[in-house]
Structure 1
Amino acid sequence: MPGRATSGVVRQTIRWTVAAALLLLVWSVQAGAAAEGSDETAMREPRLTDFASLQTPDSPNAWLVAPPAYTAAKPNEDAADFAIDAVRLADAWQTVLRQQPRTTISLVSADGLQIEAEQRSAVFGFVDDISFRAIPLAANRSTVAIYSRARVGYWDLGVNRRRVRAWIELLGKQLA
């Protein structure tokens, strides 16, 4: 009987080894794609996202928060209103961005209301792009459009959704 138990352990060890090897292969392919993309994107000129004509992907690797009918794409969540003017809202957003690890501001519009940023993942350095627009509603009221998306990959494990929600919460605290 000890031979049977030993062979079961060996089979289980082989299964785990194969699963780990496949996982490492997938990660290395994605890391290679990210590295190739980083060379290409490092050389590209950052551009402001055109929220009016924005089309979101069918893949679950992006998250959009915006007022209804502000974008061509359907938002994943409606944006909240803030009791502050749009310029101060955009300034507060930049403060939130500067507090985030591995995050850089790549472009700010001439009016200061739109901010483009990128954040790299801690382990593999995957790049996500985050676009923000402060939208004036009245003298001391504004709202936001925020679009966070992965540059590579099909699925982001909910990273962009969690990021946008967490940063909106930090924005509220920044304004309090």
Structure 2
Amino acid sequence: MSQAAKLRGRGTAGLPPAEPVDFSRLVLPASPNAALLSPPGATTQPHVAQPLLPVSPEAAWAALRMLGEAELRCWKMAEWPERRQVQWVVRSRLMNFPDLVNGQVVPLVGGSGIFLYSRSLLGYYDFGVNARRIAAWRARLDEALRAG
């Protein structure tokens, strides 16, 4: 069975073990199939800057952990509470391709910073799927924090 066939399992099946992302050392792939949202000045990688969230890291972490629950074909793979980081797999509707999404909350002076990193495990192009996902999850996070 090919690696691509293994990765097209159901849920988290067939995927490599979940690993936290070290955002301080992250190097985005050369392919256009990944998107990163980060606090301003937190990385030199191409990304979408997320302004400081004026909430405690605990409140931001509680909201972040719930983001994947609203997504179709999304499964939580792992959480690392000591890092305030979580990882999900999101499967495409038509071909069941897996994308990985990591989110992390970092404490900053005056609030919290958020990292969201979505990337495809298969293929070179993603037709903007990961960037749209980051934008949608960012909007849901903002909404959840406003609702308190």
TM over 0.5: yes
Report the equivalent of 2:79.
Answer: 108
- 1:39-97 CA-to-partner distances (Å, cap 9, x unmatched) read 6x7363211011111111111100011124423x5132112211111121121112221
For the structure 1 residues 112 and 53, does the alpha-carbon distance in structure 2 shift closer, same or farther, using more than 3 Å as the test? closer
Candidates 52, 58, 79, aligned match of 2:24: 52
Superposition misfits of 4+ residues, deviation over 4 angstroms: none
TM-score normalised by the chain length of structure 2: 0.86
What RMSD over aligned residues (CA atoms) do the two structures have, in Å?
2.0
Q: Which structure ranks higher in relative contact order (CA pairs < 8 Å, sequence separation ≥ 6)? A: 2
Whose helix fraction is larger, Structure 1's or Structure 2's?
A: 1
For structure 1, the 5+ residue unaligned runs are 1-31
Distance (whole Å) between structure 1 residues aligned to residue 39 and residue 46 of structure 2: 8
Candidates 29, 36, 45, aligned match of 1:64: 36
Distance (whole Å) between structure 1 residues aligned to residue 82 and residue 52 of structure 2: 20
TM-score normalised by the chain length of structure 1: 0.73
Pair member with larger Rg: 1
- 1:77-133 CA-to-partner distances (Å, cap 9, x unmatched) read 112211111121121112221111111111111326111111001111000000111
Q: How many residues align?
A: 142
For structure 2, the 5+ residue unaligned runs are none
Report the equivalent of 2:51.
Answer: 80
Q: Give the counterpart letter for 2:5 in structure 1.
A: A
Percent identity at matched positions? 28
